[in-house]
């Protein structure tokens, strides 16, 4: 095939890679079934291979940990745990005892785990099947005496194309030589994607169409920002991408210095910068950039893409995992915020005429009390494993907060009776995302331990603009003076009552608004992991004095367009 063409996939690792394709096809291993002379000797052969595999893998893991980071090293090291897993061992040994070859026994036992993981409704668990396949490949090569492809010595400008690439193959890639990765399988939560991001190699995964049909040496552009691959680009396309690549590299270099740094204004004031997370993967990514905990955990992630609700146990494990990943830093767990645009038929939600004005957030939880109680117990139990805080969404009346607190106290009593550990002082905050909550902030502050400004919803309620309706999208804006006045009012009220306020809506990540939020007195921002570094950098460029000057002028303007144009012109 010749001529420019574009294939689409998912963005697995950001950046733009320009180079030539190298198509990697896994060689078939041939038949693994073979007569064995003596099961005892076969078992010994298997255990020797396991020892060698663990030694080699440990060396690889140490190298990755040294070059990229401990967490990335652990991704490789986990394969030694898999092969030594007692259940896995029992399966393999049982099969060898029945006369199977070590290769066939191992392969069949791995299939059991692969099928189990692949059937999971959880995306992260599904991706773990790739780790098992990687481990099996390494073990089989050892047992069969086959050489391993040397991925560490590729030509500069290589775009590696494959159906699937194992984490251990990605871990040895040299980012100086590999311009990009294009895979037919995999998603952003796969370990190969995590490693590609850590190595800063642009990657597009889950590409539709036949990646392996690419001609070797064909010019390719990998757009890991948009999730597309351009084959045989025209000179014009190539020059557009060269300039995008340049911009991206410059931006990345300017942000890199902010990884792991404290967030401070230009005049040295410490600002809290936390991350919004909708999965365990988000929390891990955020921890990689360095952040002051999770400012918003959207618990809906546990409820989506399934046919029945998660039980208390499953929720408890997920929250505990995130609390552990944050190593003692605060994790604000928001109770289920369904309704609005998130409709889960298995929860018995009824189709509503105006779902954003309907039974959503806390309203739904108070109606489905049993479910809410299990949800709260899961959070309470997880609170024994880190610094958890509870957050209530979509609140309009103080009586709702009272009722939620009553239920929380009753569930604490249940756990006390059961002798289960939890944080007795688990703080309970309120999302300020309705106009009523803004206007009642003084009253709410008597009941809530903290506020979290949800500007995504607040903007739609203040302006009467559905946040998901493309026809009115041009009217939806945080730069509207009405929205900004209300945010200022909440921050002033909270200051007078001594209530902590964080902002977790997308406005916190809008860097043109940063001086305004600082001048209003916002001390805690919570943004998507990808926005952590840009926001940290922007905060570092503003002093309170400068921010106040710009804000004073911005707030004297009368229209959304005037405010937006003015603030964009002053953006640093």
Note the residues at the interface with ligand PEP (CB under 6 A).
296, 298, 337, 433, 454-457, 504-505
298 interface partner picked from Mg ion, ligand PEP, none, CB below 5 to 8 A per type: ligand PEP
In the complex, minimum distance from the CB of residue 570 to ligand PEP, in angstroms, rounded to a whole number: 24
Distance of CA 72 to the CA centre of its chain: 15
Dist CA 155 CA 39 (whole Å): 45
Q: Which is nearer to Mg ion, 433 or 506 (CB)?
A: 433
Residue from 191, 291, 375, 480 carrying the catalytic annotation: 191
Q: Which is nearer to ligand PEP, 52 or 456 (CB)?
A: 456
455 interface partner picked from ligand PEP, Mg ion, none, CB below 5 to 8 A per type: ligand PEP
Tell me the β-bridge partners of 8: 228
Which strands, in side-by-side order, build the sheet including 219-223?
A: 5-8, 228-231, 219-223, 16-24, 158-162, 178-183, 203-205, 10-13
In the complex, minimum distance from the CB of residue 478 to ligand PEP, in angstroms, rounded to a whole number: 10
Say whether 119 sits in a helix, a strand or coil: coil
**Other CB atoms within 10 A of residue 389 CB:** 23
Residue located via tokens 């331990």: 449
Dist CA 90 CA 71 (whole Å): 29
Tokens standing for 229?
């691959």
Residue from 228, 291, 359, 504 carrying the catalytic annotation: 504
12 interface partner picked from ligand PEP, Mg ion, none, CB below 5 to 8 A per type: none
Does residue number 340 form part of the binding site for Mg ion (CB under 5 A)? no
**Residue with the shortest CB distance to Mg ion:** 457
Q: Is the dihedral of CA 70, 75, 80, 85 positive or negative?
A: positive
423 interface partner picked from Mg ion, ligand PEP, none, CB below 5 to 8 A per type: none
Q: To the nearest 10°, the Cα dihedral for 78, 82, 84, 87?
A: 150
Tokens standing for 74?
């652990």
Query: x/- binding map, residues 426-455, to Mg ion, per CB under 5 A?
Result: -------x--------------------x-
368 interface partner picked from ligand PEP, Mg ion, none, CB below 5 to 8 A per type: none
Q: Which is nearer to ligand PEP, 8 or 356 (CB)?
A: 356
Does residue number 457 form part of the binding site for Mg ion (CB under 5 A)? yes
Dist CA 196 CA 130 (whole Å): 15
In the complex, minimum distance from the CB of residue 457 to Mg ion, in angstroms, rounded to a whole number: 4
Q: Which is nearer to Mg ion, 113 or 303 (CB)?
A: 303
Q: Which is nearer to ligand PEP, 42 or 337 (CB)?
A: 337
Does residue number 164 form part of the binding site for Mg ion (CB under 5 A)? no
Q: Which is nearer to ligand PEP, 57 or 459 (CB)?
A: 459
Our answer to whether residue 54 is catalytic in this structure is no
161 interface partner picked from ligand PEP, Mg ion, none, CB below 5 to 8 A per type: none
8 A C-beta contact, residue 390 and residue 428:
yes
Ranges of H-type helices in 466-543: 481-497, 514-520, 532-541
505 interface partner picked from Mg ion, ligand PEP, none, CB below 5 to 8 A per type: ligand PEP
Our answer to whether residue 504 is catalytic in this structure is yes
- Minimal CA–CA distance to 400: which of 371, 427, 360? 360
- Minimal CA–CA distance to 497: which of 452, 427, 454, 447? 447
In the complex, minimum distance from the CB of residue 63 to ligand PEP, in angstroms, rounded to a whole number: 40
Dist CA 440 CA 448 (whole Å): 12
Q: Which is nearer to ligand PEP, 164 or 282 (CB)?
A: 282
Which residues in the 29-58 window bind Mg ion by CB under 5 A? Answer: none
Strands 500-503 and 524-527, by their bridges, are parallel
Using CB under 5 A as the criterion, which residues of the chain lie in contact with Mg ion when the complex forms?
Answer: 433, 454, 457
Which residues are part of the catalytic machinery? 191, 504
């Amino acid at each position: 095939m010749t001529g420019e063409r574009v294939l689409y996939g998912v963005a697995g690792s950001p950046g733009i890679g320009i180079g030539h394709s190298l198509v990697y096809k896994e060689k078939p291993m041939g038949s693994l079934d073979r007569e064995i002379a003596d099961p005892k000797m076969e078992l010994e052969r298997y255990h020797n291979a396991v020892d060698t595999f663990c030694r080699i893998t440990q060396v690889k893991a140490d190298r990755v940990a040294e070059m990229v980071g401990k967490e990335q090293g652990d991704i490789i090291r986990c394969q030694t745990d898999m092969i030594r897993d007692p259940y896995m061992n029992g399966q393999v040994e049982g099969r060898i005892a029945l006369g199977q070859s070590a290769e066939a026994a191992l392969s069949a036992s791995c299939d059991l785990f692969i099928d189990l993981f692949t059937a999971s409704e959880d995306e992260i668990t599904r991706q773990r099947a790739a780790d098992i396949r990687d481990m099996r490949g390494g073990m089989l090569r050892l047992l069969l005496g086959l050489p391993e492809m040397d991925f560490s010595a590729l030509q500069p400008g290589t775009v590696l194309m494959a159906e699937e690439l194992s984490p251990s193959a990605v871990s040895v890639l040299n980012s100086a030589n590999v311009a990009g990765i294009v895979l037919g399988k995999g998603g952003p939560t796969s370990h190969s994607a995590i490693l590609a991001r850590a190595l800063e190699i642009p990657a597009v995964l889950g590409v539709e169409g036949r990646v392996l049909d690419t001609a070797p040496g064909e010019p390719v552009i990998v757009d890991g920002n948009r999730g597309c691959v351009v084959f045989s680009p025209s000179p014009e396309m190539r020059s557009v991408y060269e300039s995008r690549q340049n911009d991206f590299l410059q931006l990345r270099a300017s942000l890199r210095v902010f990884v792991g740094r404290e967030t401070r204004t230009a005049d040295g004031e410490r600002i809290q910068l936390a991350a919004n997370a909708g999965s365990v993967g988000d929390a891990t990514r955020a921890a990689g950039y360095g952040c002051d905990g999770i400012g918003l955990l959207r618990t809906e992630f546990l409820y989506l893409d399934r046919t029945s609700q998660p039980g208390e146990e499953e929720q408890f494990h997920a929250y505990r995992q995130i609390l552990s990943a944050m190593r003692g830093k605060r994790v604000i767990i928001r109770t289920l915020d369904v309704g609005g645009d998130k409709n889960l038929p298995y929860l018995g939600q009824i189709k509503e005429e105006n779902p954003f004005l309907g039974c959503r957030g806390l309203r739904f939880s108070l109606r489905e009390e049993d479910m809410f109680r299990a949800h709260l117990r899961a959070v309470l139990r997880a609170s024994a494993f880190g610094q958890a805080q509870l957050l209530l969404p979509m609140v309009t009346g103080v009586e709702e907060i009272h009722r939620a607190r009553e239920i929380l106290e009753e569930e604490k009593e249940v756990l006390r009776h059961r002798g289960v550990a939890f944080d007795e002082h688990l703080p309970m905050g309120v999302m300020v995302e309705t106009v009523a909550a803004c206007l009642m902030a003084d009253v709410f502050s008597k009941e809530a331990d903290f506020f979290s400004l949800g500007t995504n919803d607040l903007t739609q309620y203040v302006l009467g603009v559905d946040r998901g309706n493309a026809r009115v999208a041009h009217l939806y804006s945080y730069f509207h003076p009405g929205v900004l006045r209300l945010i200022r009012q909440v921050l002033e009220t909270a200051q007078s009552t001594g209530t902590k306020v964080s902002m977790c809506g997308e406005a916190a990540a809008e860097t043109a608004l940063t001086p305004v939020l600082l001048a209003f007195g916002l001390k805690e921002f919570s943004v998507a992991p990808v926005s952590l570094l840009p926001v940290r950098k922007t905060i570092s460029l503003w002093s309170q004095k400068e921010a106040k000057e710009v804000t004073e002028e911005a707030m004297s303007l009368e229209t959304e367009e005037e405010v937006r144009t003015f603030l964009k012109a002053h953006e640093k």
